[in-house]
Structure formats: structure tokens, C-alpha cells
Amino acid sequence: MEVNKRGQWGSNLGFLLASVGSAIGLGNLWAFPYKMGKSGGFAFLAIYLVLVVLVGIVLMLGEFALGRHTGHGAGGAYAALAKKYSFVGWMAVISPFLILAFYCLLGGMVLRYCLGFLMQIFGADGFVGQGSDFFGWLRYDSTSMLLFLAIFLAITMFIVMGGIKGGIERFSKAVMPALAVILVVIIVFVAIQPGAKEGYAFMFKPNAETFSTPKDFFDVLKTASGQMFFSLSVGMGINITFGSYLSKDRSLQRNAVIVPVADTVFALLAGMMILPACAAFGVDYAQGPGLLFASMQKVFLDGMGGMAGNVIGFLFYFLVFIAAITSSIALLEVCTAFIVDKQLDKGKEPKRRAVTAIFVVLIFIIAIPVALDALGSGGAAVKAPYELMGLTPDSEGFAMWNDCWLDFYDMITEGILMPLGALIMSLIMGWALPNLVKNECEESGHKFKGAQYFKFCFRFVVPAVMILVLYTQITSFFG
């Protein structure tokens, strides 16, 4: 009875597509290619893959098991283990709340680019006369930034209001196959462009010289591990919450392998779409975060040009939009489930729609500075953190975390709350409750495979990597 009031997946496929949809998002399509472009190509890729196997899969299994075992979303799950762990549940809910503030802004910007190319297809000027300088203009246009943020948030809200089976599952099942098809079409189109080859070489040619000093190695390790967290959606409430809607007869271990593998394949495919496109059209791939916006728009508008450029450009941003929405609904679901579970625990009728709407209003409010600081370019409607601190981009103390509100929120979540939450969870699973994962996996009648491997990773590998990440984060914060 209670399970039905909370909601449940209609099928394992639905659960899988929703989980894969949550994992695949801007992290794959926006962050992975640009981080790879900046951090030495193959070297980054190699470390990333090792981290997925040693840390990502392990955390994901732990989170699925915790959710299904307790039958609660992130907030309630830790409290159900023991009162003293309640604060970890809070951390796991604060992260998606903060991430949504910038994720929905980026999603809104993607939507604006998508609309721009659609207008171009119909012969109108989609980029207000700015052509490929549009990124510079958009950042300072408060009306567009707030409007598209609001539209993206509203779409996210309506899907989550629809509930697990009727909202999230139905949407994911409909759009995930489309996502795969569009991606393949664009990859093939890019592959036949002259000059694309160089992009593949950058991705797949071993280049050990990237690690000429230990510092180089640690820098790449830090970037790759942050990326792994964000891209797999581990270290916050998502997989706990999604696992809690899964029935007992499904294999947790199989799902915990399929999701990271699918996510990694998608990240690689995204790289194979974006990096060769840059190579073919002479756009620099070490550009950083603007890669998805400024550089890719240049590829379609100036490089390919004409109708082909407009159509492929539209498809490209539409693909990114779908990927971003299936992630933002997962983020919002964690927040909604947190309160819905509390209402159920108190024996009240859950108010999913009202709870979701209230969260969306709060998220919009905290997203306002993110939308209005021109992503830290200075002199905008709202001052960026470094401006409030009286710094300039050249002064000492200017850093990645204070250069704009987006990076500030990102540092709190990806840099601190997520690794800290993952550290505590792995210690609980490895030392305090060492049989929880195994027992929960075996509930479905499947034998728990690789028990020694998981035990070793929960006890030692994951904590060690998390401590390293937190250490580098804190030193760069005070440095």
C-alpha cells in the first residue's frame, strides 16, 4: 500500500532508461568533451575509465541497494539506517537542489540555441544579428536568461508532477531511443567531413608525455574524478531515490553495471561527435566551458554553413536538450521524494504536485544570480562572487570557485558535498554495515558476484580517492 503511494517503476526497462537518462546529460555532452579537450585527450580518458570501474560502479551499487533496502529516497534512507546518519541524507538532497539552479540555466541556454537554429531553418535570423558571437550577447541579456531558465524549469516540473511511472518513466522511454538515433546521425555526418580524423587521434592515441610530472598526473586525476561523479550522478540522492522505487525481484548488480557503462559509452560518443567536428572546422577544442555553446555554434553556422549547418545544428542542440531534461527531472525527483517520504512517514496523504511546485519556485530564486552575472564576465546585472569580494580576474585570490555563481554552486556540490557524502557512504557500507549491499542484492535471488572486490573498494579504494579529491579541493580553495 505504502509502496504504491510513493510510486513504483512499471518495468525494469523503464527504471534503466530513467537511470541512464539521469546519468547522461550535460556532463557527457558539455563537460566531458571540453575537459578531455583541455586535459590532454587520451590521458584523461584512461584515468576516467579506471575511476568508473573502481569507484563509480561501486558507489552506484551501494546507492541502489541503500534505496531499495530502506524503501526511502535519499533523505529518509540514511535516517532509516540510524538517526546519527540523518545529516548525510540532508547533504544528498542539498546537492541536487543547488545543481538544479545552474543545470536548468544551462538547459535553458541550450533551448535558446535550439530555437535559434529552428528559426534559421525557416529563413529567419535566429541569433539577433550576432551570428557566432551570440554567446557573448546572450550572457548579458537578462530577459532571455531568466525566460529560458523559467521555461526549462517549468518543463522539468510538469514531468516530475506526473509521478514515477506516468511522468519520469514514460518520458524517458519515449525520448532515450531518439537521443541515441540523433547522436549516431550526427557522428556519421561529422565522420565524413574532411579533417575529422585529427579529432579521433586526439581522443584515442596514447600520449604518456602528458604525465611528465606527478603534479600533471594529480591535476588530471582531480578533473577526471569530479567528472566521474557528476556524469554518473553518484554521490547524491539520485540512485538511492530511484532504487527505492525498484521492486525486490530485479537484479541490482546488473543495473549498477549497465548504467555506468551506458553513460561512459555516451560520453565517448559525445567526444566523437564534438572533437572531430572542431578538428574538421578549425575550432579550438581546448576552449573550455564555452565549447558547447560558442564553439559548436561556430561549427554549424560558419563551418558547415547553409541549410545543412542549420539542420544539424538544430538536431545537435535538440539532442543536448533531451539529455539535459532527463537529468534535471532526476535531480528534482530527489527533492520531491524527500518531502513526500516525510509526509508518508507521518501518515499524511502525499502532496507530490504542491511539493514539486514549491521546490521549483525556490530553485528559480536561487538561480537568479546564476542567470544574471553574465557567467562572470563582469559588469553584469548581478555581481559575480569575485566582484563582490573586490577582486578582478587578474588579482590574486581570483579562482575557479569565485569566478561566477555557477562555479560557486558547482564547487559546493561537486567539489565538497558529493565526495564527502560518498566517503561517508562507503565507510558505512564497508565497515559499519558490511552485509547490507550483499544481502540486498541477494533478495532478488541473484548471487552476489565479486564480493571481495566490492568489499575492498568500499573499505579502501573509494575512501582513499574521496580523501584525495577533498584534499585537492580544499587546498585549491585556500590556495
Binding site for ligand PFF (CB under 6 A): 22-23, 25-28, 96, 99, 230-231, 233, 236, 238, 327, 330-331
Least separation in angstroms between CB 73 and ligand PFF: 12
Nearer to ligand PFF by Cβ, of 231 and 287: the residue is: 231
How many C-alpha atoms does 13 have within 13 Å on its Cβ side? 6
DSSP code per residue over 208-268 = GGGGSSHHHHHHHHHHHHHHHHHHHT-SSSHHHHHHHTS-TTS-HHHHHHHHHHHHHHHHH
How many C-alpha atoms does 115 have within 13 Å on its Cβ side? 12
Nearer to ligand PFF by Cβ, of 120 and 225: the residue is: 225
Nearer to ligand PFF by Cβ, of 145 and 332: the residue is: 332
Least separation in angstroms between CB 263 and ligand PFF: 7
Least separation in angstroms between CB 324 and ligand PFF: 7
Nearer to ligand PFF by Cβ, of 35 and 196: the residue is: 35
Q: How far is CA 335 from the centre of its chain?
A: 16
Nearer to ligand PFF by Cβ, of 380 and 418: the residue is: 418
Q: Can you tell me whether residue 351 is helix, strand or coil?
A: coil
Least separation in angstroms between CB 403 and ligand PFF: 21
Least separation in angstroms between CB 33 and ligand PFF: 12
Angle at alpha carbon of residue 102, lines to 97 and 103, rounded to 5°: 85
Nearer to ligand PFF by Cβ, of 190 and 236: the residue is: 236
CA dist 276 → 117, 194, 300, 432 (Å): 21, 10, 13, 48
Nearer to ligand PFF by Cβ, of 172 and 210: the residue is: 172
Beta carbons of 462 and 61 less than 8 angstroms apart: no
Least separation in angstroms between CB 206 and ligand PFF: 26
Nearer to ligand PFF by Cβ, of 97 and 386: the residue is: 97
How many C-alpha atoms does 225 have within 13 Å on its Cβ side? 27
DSSP code per residue over 129-150 = T-GGGHHHHHHH-HHHHHHHHH
Least separation in angstroms between CB 10 and ligand PFF: 21
Q: Which residue is nearest to ligand PFF (CB)?
A: 27
Which residue shows C-alpha cell 539577433? 128
Least separation in angstroms between CB 330 and ligand PFF: 5
Least separation in angstroms between CB 231 and ligand PFF: 4
Which residue shows C-alpha cell 581570483? 398
Nearer to ligand PFF by Cβ, of 280 and 322: the residue is: 322
Q: Each residue of 440-468: b (16+ CB within 10 Å) or e?
A: bbeebeeebeeeeebbebbbebbbebbee
Beta carbons of 190 and 437 less than 8 angstroms apart: no
